[in-house]
Amino acid sequence: MGSTRGSASVASILLVLGVLGVVVAGVTVWPLVAASGQRQVAERRATATVVEPRPCGARAAGDVVEVQIDGQTRRATFDGCGHTRGQRLDVMVPARASGNLRVTPVKTQQTELEALAWRTHIVLITLAAVAGGGYGILLGRR
């Protein structure tokens, strides 16, 4: 009778661990699924030249730069200040540049969606390792 009771407790433990694994995976993946539906602003990389530097301060609107877009030189406001005249900067330009153009520095860090995907991968790999280790322990008891 001890053998039957042990099998029942192992089955219930595996069921609880399985449900817990599904819940953890769901909670981890849900923000990734929700964020993937958000509209991303299309940008492209370009090189800009500072033509009118502005000092940094509370009222600074940003340096004025010239950037080549589709073969045309356009003036834009750079999301930054304190650069020197003639300095070349790597910038991100909106794909559909119209009206008052504002450019931003090149992004070197991950986007929020990429960071969320990385976190999801780490959690799921950890969950798989824990499940594999638990299964190994169960096989070792036999």
Q: Three-class SS string for the chain?
A: CHHHHHHHHHHHHHHHHHHHHHHHHHHHHHHHHHHHCCCCCCEEEEEEEEEECCCCCCCCCCCEEEEEECCEEEEEEECCCCCCCCCEEEEEEECCCCCCCEEEECCCCCCHHHHHHHHHHHHHHHHHHHHHHHHHHHHHCC
In a shared domain, residues 56 and 102: yes
In a shared domain, residues 112 and 95: no
In a shared domain, residues 51 and 101: yes
- Count how many residues are written for the chain: 142
In a shared domain, residues 99 and 124: no
Q: In the prediction, which pLDDT does 110 show?
A: 66
Domain count, the chain: 3
Nearest to 42 by CA among 116, 117, 115, 96: 96
CATH number of the domain bearing residue 86: 2.40.50.140
In a shared domain, residues 101 and 48: yes
Q: Do the Cβ atoms of 92 and 79 come closer than 8 Å?
A: no
Nearest 5°: phi and psi at 91? -130, 165
Two tokens, residue 24: 């953890």
Mean pLDDT of 70-75: 86
Mean pLDDT of 118-141: 82
Q: In the prediction, which pLDDT does 87 show?
A: 92
Nearest 5°: phi and psi at 65? -125, 160
In a shared domain, residues 63 and 51: yes
| Model confidence pLDDT, tens digit, residues 2-56 | 455 556 677 777 788 778 878 877 887 777 777 666 555 677 888 899 998 888 8
Q: In the prediction, which pLDDT does 81 show?
A: 84
In a shared domain, residues 76 and 35: no
Q: Is the pLDDT of residue 103 over 50?
A: yes
In a shared domain, residues 28 and 53: no
In a shared domain, residues 27 and 50: no
Mean pLDDT of 62-68: 89
What's the domain range around 126?
Answer: 108-141
pTM of the model: 0.49
Mean pLDDT of 103-118: 76
Q: In the prediction, which pLDDT does 51 show?
A: 93
In a shared domain, residues 97 and 69: yes
Q: How does 6-23 read in b/e, with b if 16+ C-beta sit within 10 Å? A: eeeeeeeeeeeeeeebee
Mean pLDDT of 80-109: 83
In a shared domain, residues 48 and 103: yes
